[in-house]
């Protein structure tokens, strides 16, 4: 999992990119050609690639691609985002916390009630993560043994 990344492609609509719609995501090995391969997928005269060099060199993890010619039904461009497993987990947790805060405000739920449920969920997540680590180590041990 260490050498893998999540690549998410979003369609951008609106003059200021107000609306993002995920239309494709996949996991790929984080090899030296990854970023160049992504750029080459959009290297046509209909696209305008922004900050290509910074993306290829790894200084930024988001590539913005604008469409030079488009019709009413097509997006204004695309945003391609590279995330590690860890960075995506942080993003999901932050989004969850934000949504829970909003929901709690709407229902007038006290944070102490939520904390009890969240503690239970965190405990379950820790258990699942440790089981996952154990399974990965066992798989690694079996694979080494078969060689």
The residues that bridge with 77 in the sheet, in sequence order, are 12, 66
* Helix orientation angle between 111-146 and 85-107, rounded to the nearest 10 degrees: 160
Q: Are residues 57 and 92 in the same domain?
A: no
Alpha carbons 100 and 46: distance in angstroms, whole number: 41
Q: Give the pLDDT confidence of 6-49 residue by residue, as tens digits.
A: 999 998 887 666 667 778 999 999 999 999 999 998 887 777 88
The domain in which residue 110 lies consists of 87-146
Of 53, 84, 115, the position where a domain reaches its end is 84
Element (H, E) at 11: strand 4-13
Which residues contact residue 89 at a Cβ distance below 8 angstroms, ignoring those fewer than 6 apart? Answer: none
Tokens of 82: 């590279």
Q: Give the pLDDT confidence of 55-100 residue by residue, as tens digits.
A: 999 999 999 998 887 777 788 888 999 999 999 999 999 999 899 8
Which residues contact residue 24 at a Cβ distance below 8 angstroms, ignoring those fewer than 6 apart? Answer: 8, 9
Q: Are residues 74 and 8 in the same domain?
A: yes
């Amino acid at each position: 999992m260490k050498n893998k990344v999540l690549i998410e492609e979003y369609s951008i609509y609106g003059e200021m990119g107000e609306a993002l719609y995920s239309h494709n995501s996949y996991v790929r090995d984080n090899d030296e050609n990854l970023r160049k391969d992504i750029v080459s997928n959009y290297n046509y005269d209909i696209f305008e690639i922004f900050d290509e060099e910074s993306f290829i060199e790894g200084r930024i993890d988001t590539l913005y691609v604008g469409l030079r010619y488009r019709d009413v039904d097509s997006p204004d461009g695309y945003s391609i985002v590279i995330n590690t497993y860890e960075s995506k987990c942080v993003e999901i947790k932050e989004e969850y916390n934000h949504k829970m805060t909003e929901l709690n405000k709407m229902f007038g739920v006290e944070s102490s009630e939520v904390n009890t449920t969240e503690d239970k969920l965190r405990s379950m997540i820790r258990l699942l993560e440790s089981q996952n680590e154990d399974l990965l180590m066992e798989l690694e041990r079996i694979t080494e043994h078969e060689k």
